[in-house]
Amino acid sequence: LTLSVSAYADEPKSPFENARYVMRARFLKHTIEVPWHTGSSSLEIPVGQLPLSMLWWPRGYGNQVMHPIVTELVESLSGKVISSFERKIGLRHLELLNSESFEFVINSVTICCRGANWIPADLFAGRLQGTTRAKDLLTLCCEANMNAIRIWGGGIYETDEV
């Protein structure tokens, strides 16, 4: 299993001449450090074999395990944290087999996708603030035994809180 990480910095390098990205997570064997520079950075981090119970599975195939991960921009000389970002992520291996029909293989298991096409829950996204409308619609999808939601090309991604 490999974790793909991308970062983008648009600040000029001079204020952070000796900075580095630091990434920590329980599933990583050690702390990952990447030198900071202006522009785009990407890194493939080998995670190795994880027990199946630590992987994210689609609804109906197992648990949706989420792992906390912390990324920091650290000044190398002083160790001072300049910026920090924390998120929960799911780890899984995904393949798309394009034979006579599309087949998704997740964690070496062929998945039967049952889902819907998601359009924004409201024409004006701001009107959803403070409501449960999007969450209610996704709950209905779960109750209908769906395990896949496709965001149409002109759509928006709902917030992580949904």
Q: What is the pLDDT of residues 120-134, one digit of tens each?
A: 877 787 787 778 888
Q: Give the CA radius of gyration of the chain.
A: 19
pTM, 2 dp: 0.71
Report pLDDT digits (tens) over 7-25. Answer: 676 665 545 666 777 777 7
b/e code 105-120 from CB counts within 10 Å (16+ = b): ebbeeebeeeeeebeb
Q: Which residue has the tokens 């974790």?
A: 3
